[in-house]
Amino acid sequence: MQSKAEVGDTYLVARAREGYLDAYELLAQRHSAMAYRVALRLCGNHHDAQDLAQEALIAAWQNLDRFRADSSFHTWLYQIVTRRALNKLTRRRDTGSLDLLGDAADPSAEPAAQAERNFAVDAVTDALAALPFAQRAVVVLRHFEGLSYAEVAEVTHSSVPAVRSHLFRARRTLGTKLEEWR
Amino acid sequence: MSDPPSDRQAHHLLASATLACGADVDLLLEQVADGLGGDRDAHQRECVHCQAAIEEFSAVWGPVTELAGNPVPAPPGLTAAVMSQIRVLVRDVWYTLQTTNLGVIRIAARTVAALARDAAHTVPGVRVALGRSTHGGLATPAERATFGHHHPHAAVGVLGRTAVVDLAVAISYGDPVHEVARDIQRHVISSLRDNLGLQTITVNVTVDDTLADDGQ
């Protein structure tokens, strides 16, 4: 479909609420990578992340009438993915390894250097997985997704001081774990 | 003044609240994690403790930054799977194009809407076109026309060779709205008639936005 880059989310959300499914399809195309990426980093493995991203995008469509116009669809979807990841992990009590590698290996890298980089990435993956969910969520949203403190607070229904407090603790824990790996 | 931290002292630093110079460890780590390790203030430019800590934290935090920069694409088919499930949840409408002794040809109204949308896109001045087939303007006439007769595989109506399509369009700023809208109606009706064999076609066009050349 052409012109997808020309319209903002606000326009597409409005049309989707009026029943234009292809408007929502554009929104889903635009944000599916983010939903999957955050789900992967929060809940661990590809299959859970794919299910979670799919559920979140469907839930967003089903609840479009509750979407507040003063928010952004992007932020709202972050909220839905994060909340659903928490629910899934709480039900399962699974804090196993997070597979964050995806398909990002650099084929041009020297094998030894690539192996070392993969070890480093694995170390981050394991350190993230060991964090309590609240700390993991703020690290993912702030340092992986690049959200501002205010946006992280909005997504997590928290306050900026609380977000910073979680981040302070999470960074120290991650730093200590990564220092042990070095 | 005490000696600056030696190599591999991140663990020791992270167990402290402040450096020997009084700098807050959390704030230094935040500075590094936010990618601002190179943006040093006047104190940090002079202080060996801060400089050593920033270097140490940068080395420790490097793998996090690297991992965060790795692209994670959406799995193929994710959006299609989402839309497929959503279409199951909405009531779909079907047109019966032909009923002969060879069998019945049906086409989903959303397919008609997609063809109409794509036809509208080719009209000069149209920047965005969205087609609607399952709500409001289409679903209601479909149900009325079919007296509630539903397709056995879904909650669908059968509307024969009559189509009602709603299009929401955004056009280029400055183009004559009524002319573009009429062009859309003519072009879409012609396209649906030629491509699908639909006979009676109503195309409702809602121009709900105008876009400047930069897309705003």
pTM of the model: 0.72
Confidence of residue A49 (pLDDT cuts 50, 70, 90): very high
| pLDDT on residue A148 | 95
Element (H, E) at B164: strand B162-172
Tens-place pLDDT, residues A123-171: 888 888 889 999 999 999 999 999 999 999 999 999 999 999 999 999 9
Look-up: residue for tokens 């230094």?
A: B28
ipTM score assigned to the predicted complex: 0.80
Would you put residue B136 in left (φ > 0), alpha (ψ -120 to 50) or beta? left
Q: Chain A residues with CB inside 8 Å of B26's CB?
A: 168, 171-172
By the 8 A CB rule, do B131 and B165 touch?
A: yes
| pLDDT on residue B7 | 45
Tens-place pLDDT, residues B146-200: 444 343 333 333 356 667 788 888 888 888 899 999 999 999 999 988 888 777 7
By the 8 A CB rule, do A10 and A56 touch?
A: no
Q: Chain A residues with CB inside 8 Å of B25's CB?
A: 172
Confidence of residue B113 (pLDDT cuts 50, 70, 90): confident
CA dihedral B158, A62, B127, B169 (to 10 degrees): 50
Tokens coding B125? 């001045």
Distance, in Å, from the CA atom of A45 to the CA atom of A66, rounded to the nearest integer, reads 30
Distance, in Å, from the CA atom of B197 to the CA atom of B142, rounded to the nearest integer, reads 18
Return residues 104-133 of B near A (CB < 8 Å): 110, 113-114, 117-118, 121, 127-133
Name the average pLDDT for chain A.
82
A101 in contact with B, Cβ within 8 Å? yes
- Over residues A105-117, the mean pLDDT reads 51
Contact A172/B113, CB-based, under 8 Å?
A: no
Provide the residue count of chain B.
216
Return residues 10-29 of B near A (CB < 8 Å): 10-11, 14-15, 25-26, 29
Which is nearest to A83 in space by CA: A162, A173, A154? A154
Tens-place pLDDT, residues B34-47: 999 999 999 999 99
DSSP code of residue B75 = P
| pLDDT on residue A2 | 41
| pLDDT on residue B29 | 95
Q: Chain A residues with CB inside 8 Å of B11's CB?
A: 176, 179-180
- Over residues A11-35, the mean pLDDT reads 90
Interhelix angle for B177-196 vs B109-121, to 10°? Answer: 130
DSSP for A87-130 reads: HHHHHHT--------TT---TTS-HHHHHHHHHHHHHHHHHHHH
A130 in contact with B, Cβ within 8 Å? no
Contact A18/B136, CB-based, under 8 Å?
A: yes
DSSP code of residue B73 = P
Contact A171/B29, CB-based, under 8 Å?
A: yes
Alpha helices in B70-108 (DSSP H): 78-89
Which is nearest to B23 in space by CA: B11, B40, B38, B8? B40
Q: Chain B residues with CB inside 8 Å of A117's CB?
A: 63, 66
A124 in contact with B, Cβ within 8 Å? yes
In chain B the first and final C-alpha atoms are separated, in Å, by 58
| pLDDT on residue A141 | 96
| pLDDT on residue A73 | 93
B58 in contact with A, Cβ within 8 Å? no
Beta bridge partners of B95: B107
The CA–CA distances, whole Å, from B181 to A5, B4, B121, B126, B174 equal: 22, 73, 12, 9, 13
CB atoms within 10 A of CB B3: 9
Which is nearest to B49 in space by CA: B15, B18, B83? B18
Tokens coding B214? 């930069």
Interhelix angle for A21-43 vs A9-17, to 10°? Answer: 110
Which is nearest to B126 in space by CA: A9, A20, A5, A2? A2
Beta bridge partners of B205: B167
Indicate if the pLDDT at residue B142 is higher than 80.
no
Indicate if the pLDDT at residue A116 is higher than 70.
no
Cβ contacts below 8 Å, chain A against chain B, sum to 170
Q: Across the interface, which of A29, A101, A172 has its CB nearest the CB of B14?
A: A172
Which is nearest to A106 in space by CA: B34, B71, B77, B88? B71
Q: Helices H, strands E: what count in chain A?
A: 8, 0
Lowest mean pLDDT among A56-60, A97-101, B36-40: A97-101
Q: Chain B residues with CB inside 8 Å of A2's CB?
A: 121
CB atoms within 10 A of CB A148: 12
DSSP code of residue B135 = S
